[in-house]
Amino acid sequence: MEVSHNLSFLVLISNASFLVQCVMAILLAMSFMSWWYIFRKMFALRETVEQTDSFEAGFLATSDLPALYDTTVKSQEPSASLSRIFVSGFREFIKRTKKSGKPLSTAQLDGTRRAMRATYQREMDRLESNLSFLATVGSVSPYIGLFGTVWGIMNSFRGLADAGQATLASVAPGIAEALVATAMGLFAAIPAVVSFNHFVRHLERLSRRFESFIEELSNTLQTEPETFEEAA
């Protein structure tokens, strides 16, 4: 049996009921917002990784931490998470050294570690911003689309009940209109889920690198404190 109705995508959207069109508009807005956050997060993480690589190379290549501190403070970058951790830790180290006027104890050096940990948490919070939105889009978009589909199919069968004869031509357009909502829900959800998992893996690697750096700098300040105290 041939169906003469125009089942193009735009026609299906325009002929859908008002509620289904609202569902489609919500899904479209969520998709646009998720893509916006995806690109922003992708570029931000790329810059952070590049800056982390650069700073680690400079840190490992020098033994003059006060000079590295001065250089880092003057050339702070927006994505410089690792250098911010270093600056906060070494600033706390200098502050405690000037206050005590003598070599720091292990308990006092722990203050440096706590300062770096606090900055580390702030940087991770900044890097993880908007990930919850991607997770929300990935989890709820299919259900929003399914709601639109169920509502559209209900309207199709209500119209079919009023018709004198049940034919494929009479029910197919309504069902097709309803299924567009499910398709749009999946279109919004799949990129959000894939991107969320991708970013989480990158953030876990960055987190491990930051924690390793905190331990390495703490050990350096504990094993050779006099050198840095004199320079500070």
Has residue 2 been placed in a domain? Answer: no
Q: Is residue 188 a part of any domain in this protein? A: yes
**Per-residue pLDDT band at 3 (split at 50, 70, 90):** very low
Average pLDDT over residues 28-57: 93
Mean pLDDT of 109-122: 89
How would residue 4 be classed by pLDDT, with cut points 50, 70 and 90?
A: very low
Does position 2 have pLDDT exceeding 50, yes or no?
no
In the chain, how many domains are there? Answer: 1
* Residue 3, in any domain of the structure: no
- Is the CB of residue 51 less than 8 Å from the CB of residue 82? yes
Using the predicted structure, report yes or no on whether residue 25 has a pLDDT greater than 80: yes
* Residue 164 CB neighbours (<10 A): 5
Is the CB of residue 109 less than 8 Å from the CB of residue 220?
A: no
* Element housing 151 (H / E): helix 131-162
Is position 199 within any domain? yes
Domain that holds residue 200: 9-231
Q: Is the pLDDT of residue 53 over 70?
A: yes
With respect to residue 114, please indicate whether it lies within any of the assigned structural domains.
yes
pTM for the complete prediction? 0.81
In-domain check, residue 143: yes
Contacts of 161 (CB under 8 A, 6+ apart): none
Do 113 and 89 contact (CB within 8 A), yes or no? yes
The average confidence (pLDDT) of the chain is 82
DSSP-derived letter for residue 7 is -
Angle subtended by helix axes 18-61 and 106-127, to nearest 10 = 150
Task: Please report whether residue 1 resides in a domain.
Answer: no
